[in-house]
Amino acid sequence: MAASNDIKEGRRARLSRGSIVMPQTSTLPQARKLLGLEGLRFLATVAVLLWHYQHFAFAGGAAVAPTRTELPFYRVLFPFYEAGEYGVWFFWCISGFIFFWKYRTVVADRTIDGRTFFVYRLSRLYPLHIATLLLVAVLQPIYFAQHGVYFVYQNNDVPHFVAQLFMASDWLPPRSQSFNGPIWSVSVEILCYAIFFLLLRFVTASPLLNVVMILASLMFGTQVGTSLAFFYAGGLAAMAREAIASSRRRQIVEAMAWCVAIAVPAALWLADIELVPIVGPLLLAYTPILLFCCSGQLTLPRRIETMLEVAGNMTYSCYLLHFPIQLAIALACAALQRPIPYGDHLFWAAFVLPTLVASHFTYRWFEAPAQRLMRGTLLRKKQAGRTSPAPL
C-alpha cells in the first residue's frame, strides 16, 4: 500500500548523512512517480475513510447500521458509502504493482539483499503503526470506563497488543478486531512482502508464478489468500506495463486496455447487474486492467503533479489516523454528554477535512523523518562498507 516512496526516501536518507557518498549510478530502477496510481491510492483511502464513517453510529457494544441514504453528501459519495470496504483490495493490488515494478528485477538478481529490503518496508510502515497503536491503547480504556465497552473494536487485551506490536494481528482468521482496527490489512500485506521476496529470490521471476499464486491463493478463502491474489494480480499488470514500454504497439495496447476499463463499468451499469455475488472475481480481473491504464506516463501541469504526489504520500497516514481521530471524537462527545451528530454535514466536514490535513502533516513531520532515521541507523554500517552502488 505505501511502497511507492521507498526509492525516493532512500535517496534522501543517504543525502542527509555526510558519511555516505551518493553513487553516480544505481542498479535499481529510477524513481518515477506513477501519478495515476497515486491518484488511485488516494481514492482507495477516501473509500475506506468514508466506509468507516459508519463507526460513528456505534452504540452499546454493537455497530448500528445507519440509514446510508441519510449520511452526509450521499448522492455524491454513495459509491464510497456502499462499497468503500473494497478499497483495501485496491491497496493490495496497487502494492503488488509497485513492488513488481520497482523490486522484481533487483530482488531476483540479488542486487538488493533481504536485510535492506525489509528495513525499507518496516521503516515505511512501523513508526506510524506503533504510534497509533499506543495512542489507541491509551484512549480505549478511557472509553471503556465511560461505557463499559470499547469503541468498535473489542479485543483490546495483552495477547492482541503483542500481536499488534509485531504486525501479526491478522495472519490467521478470523479478523482480530483489536486496537487500531484498520491495520489488519497491512498486517496481512506483510506476509505478501515476505512471500514476494522469497519466491523471487529462490524460485523464479516468471509471470507464470503470478498466475499460479493467484489460483492457489483463491483456494484458501481467507484474508491472506485474498491479499495474495490481488497482490500478484497487480504484479501481472506491472509486468505487462514493462513488457510494452518500448513496443511499437504500445499505444494500440493502451487504447484497447482503456476501452475495456471504460466498457466494463458502463456495461454493468446499463445491465443493472447485482454486483455483490460477483464482486470478488470482478475486481480481481478489473483492477489490474485499471492499474495498467493508470500507470502510463502522464504529462500534467506541475501543480497537478504536486497535488497527486501529496495525495499519494498521505494515504498511509490517513489510513492509520482516521480511527484514533474517531475514537477521540467519541470520547469528546461522551464527555459533553451529547450524541455523535454523524448525520450533520458540518460534522462530516469537521471530521473528514481535518483528518486529511492531519494526514498530510503527519507524513511530512513524522513518517518521512522516521523513515530516514530508521534507514540511516539500521543501514549505516552496511552501506558504509559497500563498494558497489547502494540501492536508492
Name the band, by pLDDT with cuts 50, 70 and 90, for residue 6. low
**What's the average model confidence in pLDDT over 133-149?**
96
**Residue 31 pLDDT > 90, yes or no?**
no
**Where is average pLDDT lowest: 42-56, 159-173, 236-250, 267-281?**
267-281
- Report pTM: 0.88
Name the band, by pLDDT with cuts 50, 70 and 90, for residue 179. very high
**Residue 124 pLDDT > 90, yes or no?**
yes
**What's the average model confidence in pLDDT over 144-159?**
94
Closest CA to 207 of 248, 235, 167, 175: 235
**What's the average model confidence in pLDDT over 59-67?**
67
**What's the average model confidence in pLDDT over 305-323?**
95
- % residues pLDDT > 70 (the chain): 87
Closest CA to 210 of 261, 218, 114, 27: 218
Mean pLDDT of the chain: 88
Beta bridge partners of 62: 59
Closest CA to 372 of 144, 94, 137, 120: 120
